[in-house]
Structure 1
Amino acid sequence: MSRAKLVAGIAAGIVALEGAFSLAATHDKSSYLLRPPGVQSEGDFRSRCIACGKCIEACPYRALDVAGPMQGALSGTPCIDAREQACRLCSDYPCVAVCPTGAIRDVADKHDPRMGYAKIDENVCIAYQGYRCEVCYRVCPLIDEAITIDFQQLENDGIHTKFVPQINRDICTGCGLCVQRCAVSEPHVPIRIVTLAEQEAV
């Protein structure tokens, strides 16, 4: 094989690999990134965000991070790993204040963000199994609004009650504090955030 053909082959392989990463970032569930507060939709965010990193620098809790190279076209954009560090819904939203393009905008108080909504796997959540746990409920910044407790009688037990968390997806901001503080360890945390990108892909 000539040197020119070898170089061309390598270049084609790189282009194909980049295309595969980009395709994965568009369609794979792993690319359903949890975005900063103030994102209006994933499509609007992608069209505006220039990956400048100012929102990441402004976050006082270091909740915002950079999407890695495996996210293809989304690489370099801000995202949140809720299990690692959730959004705290700051009263002054410093991340929004520094955004130069309006990719994140229009938030005034803790009810405004719509990053997604929490979803509970009832088969894994220990509260649904009858164990007393109110962690997600207690840490919710919109307690008794986004998360409430439903008191259910235990089957075949006339004395004890289950304290079952219920998510109001119309109020939940998707901040992820419930995910971060969930008492159940990996590999299967029973609560997760259904992101804007995931909702838009349905």
Structure 2
Amino acid sequence: MQRREFFIKSFKNLCLCAGGGFLASLALNAKDRYYLRPPGADNEERFLSKCIRCGLCVNACPYDTLKLASLLDAPQNGTPFFEARKIPCYLCEDIPCIRDCPTDALDKKYLEKKDGIFEVKIGIAIVDSASCVAYWGIQCDACYRACPLIDKALKLEFKRNERTAKHAFLLPVVDHEVCVGCGLCELACITQEPAIKVLPRKFVLGKAGSHYIKGWDKEDEKRLNEDDTKNKTKQNRAQDYLNNEEML
């Protein structure tokens, strides 16, 4: 009897270990995948600190874009996200997902603006020129026509086709400062795997550093004048020190 109980316990422990390993592998794989948050979740840390996993934003979405993450998904369990290739964000004017959020995890500042939905920062569209057929010379403007901010967030660049010398390239180009990351372009892409994908902004954007000045930006150029003033002050202090006889 004791031998039988030993084998039963051993089998149970083996199953628990296998199950735990399976869940751990799912968790590790999930971390490698990217995901998109609802409009208004600009800062991931702020969003996670305020989101209570209530699902009200999911229920408010009229297009069933949003869903709550499970253990099999990349985001933290119970938090809202969406996959643009399946169902993108259709940029509702009244932004019901933000409106119904009870904790301000989805920033309500966008509700106060006239065209607030076009100022959200969900992600940024990136074009893979190697797989985009427009870069092959095949005329395609599916993503361009699908963009709700056409000729602003997504533009077509006309370029001479040197290979044929007959047909022009119509190349999709994304303006990262305007793109809101709705994913409508990704859904419209005709290739088997989308040649244009929306990625979270933190995956895409770099940072130049504060020591670079935009000479064409008057507000940014003020920093240059401030730095000149500080440098002159430092030089004056050095001269005063050297000219001070008491210090010699």
Tell me the TM-score range normalised by the shorter chain. 0.7 to 0.9
Structure 2 residue 41 is the aligned partner of structure 1 residue 39: yes
Q: Secondary structure at the match of 1:111?
A: helix
Alignment of 1:195 with 2:200, yes or no, is yes
Identify the match of residue 101 of structure 1 among 100, 103, 127.
Answer: 103
- Kept in 2: contact 1:21–1:73 (CA 8 A): no
Match of 1:145 in 2: 152
Return the structure number with greater helix share. 2
> Aligned pair count?
195
Amino acid in the other structure paired with 1:179: E
Query: Residue 19 and residue 101 in structure 1: after superposition, are their counterparts in 2 closer, same or farther (change >3 A)?
Result: farther
User: Partner of 1:175 in structure 2?
Assistant: 182
Amino acid corresponding to residue 160 of structure 1 in structure 2? H
Residue 43 of structure 2 aligns to which amino acid in structure 1?
S
SS at match of 1:128: helix
Counterpart of 1:166? 173
SS of equivalent to 1:43: helix
What is the CA–CA distance in structure 1 between the aligned matches of 2:180 and 2:29, rounded to whole Å?
26
Unaligned runs of 5+ in 2: 1-5, 206-248
Which structure shows the bigger proportion of residues in strand conformation?
Answer: 1
Answer with 70-79 or 144-153: which moved more: 70-79
Post-superposition offset of 1:23: 4.0
- Deviation at residue 66 of structure 1 after TM alignment: 2.3
CA displacement at 1:71 relative to structure 2: 2.5
Structure 1 portions without partners, runs of 5+ = none
1:102-141, Cα deviation, whole Å (9 max, x unpaired): 1111324232110110001101111111111111111111
Please tell me whether Structure 1 or Structure 2 has the larger radius of gyration of its CA atoms: 2
Preserved contact between residue 41 and residue 197 of structure 1 (Cα < 8 Å)? no
For the residue of structure 1 that corresponds to 2:53, the secondary structure is coil
Show the counterpart of 1:122: 129
Shift in Å, 1:12: 5.5
Measured in 2, the distance between the counterparts of 1:42 and 1:100 equals 17
In structure 2, distance between residues paired with 1:23 and 1:41: 23
Cα shift readout 1:49-73 (whole Å, capped 9, x = no counterpart): 2221111110111111222321366
How far 1:84 moved relative to its partner?
Answer: 1.5
- For residues 129-140 of structure 1, the aligned pairs below 5 Å read 129-140=136-147
Taking every aligned residue pair, what percent have the same amino acid on both sides?
A: 34
**What is the TM-score of this pair, normalised by structure 1?**
0.84
State the distance in 2 between where 1:146 and 1:166 align: 8
| Matching residue of 1:61 | 63
SS in 1 for 2:49: helix
Counterpart-to-counterpart distance in 2, 1:140 and 1:10: 50
Q: Distance in 2 between matches of 1:14 and 1:197?
A: 33
Give the drift of 1:47.
Answer: 2.1
Q: Does the alignment pair 1:76 with 2:78?
A: yes
1:180 CA displacement = 0.9
Query: Would you say the 8 A contact 1:118–1:174 is kept in 2?
Result: yes
Indicate the residue corresponding to 1:154 in structure 2.
161
